[in-house]
Amino acid sequence: MILAALFVIATLKPQWLGQDRGRPASNGLTARTAQQIALPPSPPASVVRIGFAHAAHIAAPAVVSIAASKAPSRAERAREPLFGLPGLPFGPRQPRGTPQLGVGSGVIISADGVLLTNNHVVEGASDIEVRLSDGRQAQAKLIGTDSETDLAVLKIELGGLPVIPLGDAANLQVGDAVLAIGNPFNVGQTVTSGIVSALGRNQLAINQFVNFIQTDAAINPGNSGGALVDADGRLVGINTAIFSRSGGSLGIGFAIPVDVARQVATALLQDGVVARGWIGVQTRELTPELAEALKLGDAKGVLIGGVISDAPAAQAGIKPGDVLTRIGPHVITTPAELLASVAALKPRSTIEVGVQRGGKAMAFQLAVAQRPPPQRSQDD
């Protein structure tokens, strides 16, 4: 009977026997009570993870790193002992005569190996090497370049290539989320996020024919030629420039809209060159002060400051001091509109332009020529 009573007490009231079994747990609960409390299950991953992993997963495999090398010029060889390699941030100085190396990014836009990048990444390069995010490498062939949009088309010969889906930059709105993907400072592929800060940026002294997408997604040296993608992982721009006083990102980056990139790539693949219209005039913005000084009344348009000899405009009879008001059916109010409208014309086509000369409205038929390549200083 005594043993039976002790068993009952030890089981139900162990504290009566002075044992440690009933000592409170550190959290104020008995050990047995704590063991009986079950933690709630973790919520589904879709609830916990808020971000752009899906977009990065779609786009990042098609973004590549590009190393472009060229033999240095005599002037550059003379500077090498002092300045090392300007195109390779944080790189070691190289011996005299070592080929210069530029590092950038690119985007695969077709399964047969067509890539887009910036012209300034590969300009003058004698050797272009492409490295994919899966570790594969290939030598790239330069298909063509367009310095006036700072775009270049490359091609590599590899199978099973990832391809980025193309978006529509025309549907972008200020405030839309975007990702910048590239190889900044040659550290490896990097994804940064931000929003569309502005649209239609021009007059940036970067190139002639682009209204840039501005973004605060971090873009740094080496990101040039990389992808700006939307929240669905679709390509909406080619990252090309930053505004910076230090060389690093200050949250003001610029990308070439994919619509422009698609047009340039198509022209380079089909014809090897981007053919733009040209009429041979030099223009000035027509301010109210200029209109009053030239006694042009309330004329609206672009003031012709000069006409190139033997150019289509000169042959048609357009003169300095005329105000160009119309290209075909399109009303012209700024020099940028005139440049874009003329560039969109097909060379060897004919177009009617509207002009105001003094107080008289006139029309001229112009035979559109092909825009000459921009003048560049020759490298010895």
135 and 114, same structural domain? Answer: yes
356 and 264, same structural domain? Answer: no
Which CATH number fits the domain that encloses residue 329? 2.30.42.10
195 and 134, same structural domain? Answer: no
Cβ–Cβ under 8 Å, residues 275 and 343: no
**Range in 128-132, 145-149, 191-195, 283-287 the model is least confident about:** 283-287
177 and 126, same structural domain? Answer: no
Average pLDDT over the chain, rounded to whole?
80
Q: Please indicate whether residue 102 or residue 8 has the higher confidence score (pLDDT).
A: 102
Choose one of 245, 271, 297: the last residue of a domain. Answer: 271
255 and 346, same structural domain? Answer: no
Choose one of 103, 125, 155: the last residue of a domain. Answer: 155
204's tokens = 């940036």
Choose one of 155, 185, 210: the last residue of a domain. Answer: 155
How large a percentage of the chain has pLDDT more than 90? 40
**Range in 86-100, 108-122, 289-303 the model is least confident about:** 86-100
Mean pLDDT of the region 120-145:
93
Q: Is residue 28 part of a domain?
A: no
- Residue 182, exposed/middle/buried by CB under 10 A (0-12, 13-18, 19+)? buried
Which residues are tagged catalytic? 120, 150, 224
Q: Is residue 20 over pLDDT 60?
A: no
Q: Is residue 92 part of a domain?
A: yes
Q: Is residue 8 part of a domain?
A: no
325 and 300, same structural domain? Answer: yes
192 and 146, same structural domain? Answer: no
Which CATH number fits the domain that encloses residue 225? 2.40.10.10
Q: Is residue 190 part of a domain?
A: yes
Q: Is residue 58 over pLDDT 70?
A: yes
In sequence order, what DSSP letters do the residues of 105-163 get, joined into one string?
A: EEEE-STT-EEEE-HHHHTT-SEEEEE-TTS-EEEPEEEEEETTTTEEEEE---SS---
Q: Is residue 253 part of a domain?
A: yes
Q: Is residue 379 part of a domain?
A: no
Output the pLDDT for position 80. 35
pLDDT 10s digits, 145-186: 998 889 999 999 999 999 999 999 889 999 999 999 999 888
Q: Is residue 271 over pLDDT 70?
A: yes
Output the pLDDT for position 12. 55
Q: Is residue 79 over pLDDT 50?
A: no
In this prediction the pTM is 0.72
Q: Please indicate whether residue 359 or residue 49 has the higher confidence score (pLDDT).
A: 359
148 and 204, same structural domain? Answer: no
**Range in 76-85, 229-238, 239-248 the model is least confident about:** 76-85
Q: Is residue 38 part of a domain?
A: no
Domains contained in the chain, number = 3
Q: Is residue 377 part of a domain?
A: no
Mean pLDDT of the region 192-218:
82
How far apart CA 341 and CA 335 sit, in angstroms, is: 10
Q: Is residue 78 over pLDDT 50?
A: no
Its domain, for residue 292, covers: 277-370
SS (H, E, C) 334-352: CHHHHHHHHHCCCCCCEEE
Say how many C-beta atoms besides its own lie within 10 A of residue 71's C-beta: 14
136 and 59, same structural domain? Answer: yes
260 and 212, same structural domain? Answer: yes
Q: Please indicate whether residue 11 or residue 76 has the higher confidence score (pLDDT).
A: 11
Q: Please indicate whether residue 79 or residue 56 has the higher confidence score (pLDDT).
A: 56
Output the pLDDT for position 99. 59
Mean pLDDT of the region 43-47:
57
255 and 310, same structural domain? Answer: no
Output the pLDDT for position 92. 38
Output the pLDDT for position 380. 36
Output the pLDDT for position 207. 66
125 and 77, same structural domain? Answer: yes
